[in-house]
Amino acid sequence: MPELARKSIAACALFLSVGLARADDPFDRLKLRLNGSVSLVGAYVDQTNQAGLDEVVLAVDAGLFGSAILPLDGGDVIGARMALDLDYATNFDSFINDAGSSNVLGELWAFWEGDFGRVQLGLSDGAADILGLVVPSVSSRMRIDTSEIFLLGYPCSLFCSSKNQQPGSLFSPNGMQLRTDIHSSDDFNKIIYTTPSFAGLRLSVSYTPDGTRDPGQLFGDDEINEQAHIWDFAVGYVTTFGEVDLGLSAGFVTGENVNNTAPGFFGDVEDYGTAARIGYREWTLGGAWRRTNVAGGGPIVQGFSSNVFDSLYTEIWSVGLTYERGPWMVGANYIEADEEIPFSTANQDGQGAQLSAGYIFNENVRLVAGWQHFEFSGPFGVCPTDSGGIFFPPCDTLDGDIGFLESTFSF
């Protein structure tokens, strides 16, 4: 077992042991659950430029989730959860895990919940991401907003083919990712507190002491341009008025560059946004907006090539509409992003559109067919690597269409 997993499990076990000491015959009450899902995707990728990357693609997104729940005397509950995630696509040599991460261990945390609210400790997303609402979409993985499988290739490194892309092909030109989730505290080690629901209103705050997944580095030396002391603040509200369902959320993330090599150029992370959903009978409409100084809206990159700037921002907004009738569901989505570029008066832009339809066979089997279109254009407006090779200026345009069939199996 990796050292990270051993240390995280030890921390969660210590947290749980406090609650176990209070419970009589704890193993008689302990509830264990193992569940998961697998999405298989067949797609054809047609890129306007870099045509050497056009091909039929097979992709898989698999998640395995294990949980333990233990009711205590007085109504409190303690528990733990582990999530494993593995994604792969035939047109990439490297993993395509969520947001380009190769971490198979996605989450590992323990919690204590009672009348006072909920406390959670371990590897987890931040409060702003957890309470944030998502824009409605028919597809669960092949989304244009916060996609878990993104199949456009960028860039070609020598000759344009699926075997000659640079690592990190999930990232479009200039690091742009089309996602409105407020995720800058990432799945680092953190502590989260969430209030009980007050007539549908919940508040949450999380603290991430260090931008690392390894508990052993929490009190070690700071990495170059490392974001630490990260705070998430979030609010969510869900209610129903007759046949109308309403949901609202807002989040804010702030941190500190604790080893800044270029003050005034690199900065402290800021990430904030809002989202709303309204449902009426078979219809659901939702939208989200996000603003961050993490270039392109992707995950934070540490080191001398940090992507957290002092006064340059990326704004992203998206909207989605779905209609559900019996086992059928259809929907349309649109997303747009605008990224300020260092040393440039022109911005990097990105747009995505999706049409999809799905059929639910039962609670464990779902089939979705759809089409995606993406357009990215940067300050140079060129892509000299269309035929392969490394040139300057770099490719900052990327257009493409993806037709896909997604089948999801859960247990």
Q: What burial class does residue 187 get, using C-beta atoms within 10 Å of its C-beta: 0-12 exposed, 13-18 middle, 19+ buried?
A: buried
> Are residues 99 and 203 in contact, defined by beta-carbon separation less than 8 angstroms?
no
Q: Which residues, 6+ apart, have CB-to-CB distance to 99 below 8 Å?
A: 170, 177, 179, 183, 298, 299
> What is the three-class DSSP state of 16?
helix
Nearest to 82 by CA among 150, 148, 16, 29: 16
> Are residues 349 and 377 in contact, defined by beta-carbon separation less than 8 angstroms?
yes
For residue 150, what is the domain's CATH number? Answer: 2.40.160
Mean pLDDT by 10 residues, the chain (411 residues): 52 54 64 94 87 83 93 91 89 59 84 96 95 95 91 63 48 84 91 96 96 68 88 97 96 95 95 97 97 92 89 97 97 97 92 97 95 93 63 74 96 91
For residue 19, being part of any structural domain is answered with no
Tell how many helices (H) and how many strands (E) occur in the chain: 3, 16
Q: What is the pLDDT of residue 164?
A: 52
Report residue 253 as tokens: 């993330």
For residue 98, being part of any structural domain is answered with no
Residue where the block lists tokens 């989040």:
251
> Are residues 331 and 321 in contact, defined by beta-carbon separation less than 8 angstroms?
yes
For residue 185, being part of any structural domain is answered with yes
| Total domains, the chain | 1
For residue 9, being part of any structural domain is answered with no
Q: What is the pLDDT of residue 301?
A: 85
Q: What is the pLDDT of residue 183?
A: 93
Residues 308, 229: Cα–Cα separation, whole Å: 15
Residues 219, 216: Cα–Cα separation, whole Å: 7
For residue 83, being part of any structural domain is answered with no
Q: Is the pTM of this model over 0.85?
A: yes
> What is the three-class DSSP state of 99?
helix
Nearest to 249 by CA among 227, 226, 273: 273
Q: What is the pLDDT of residue 270?
A: 97
Residues 300, 307: Cα–Cα separation, whole Å: 6
Q: What is the pLDDT of residue 1?
A: 45
Q: What is the pLDDT of residue 69?
A: 94
For residue 47, being part of any structural domain is answered with yes
H helix intervals, 2-62: 3-20, 26-29
Domain with 355, as residue range(s), is 37-61+128-410
Q: What is the pLDDT of residue 169?
A: 45
* Amino acid making up residue 368: V
Q: What is the pLDDT of residue 151?
A: 85
* Amino acid making up residue 39: S
For residue 158, being part of any structural domain is answered with yes
H helix intervals, 33-144: 127-131
For residue 376, being part of any structural domain is answered with yes
Cα-based distances in Å from 324 to 138, 277, 281, 284, 357: 9, 15, 9, 9, 10
Q: What is the pLDDT of residue 129?
A: 96
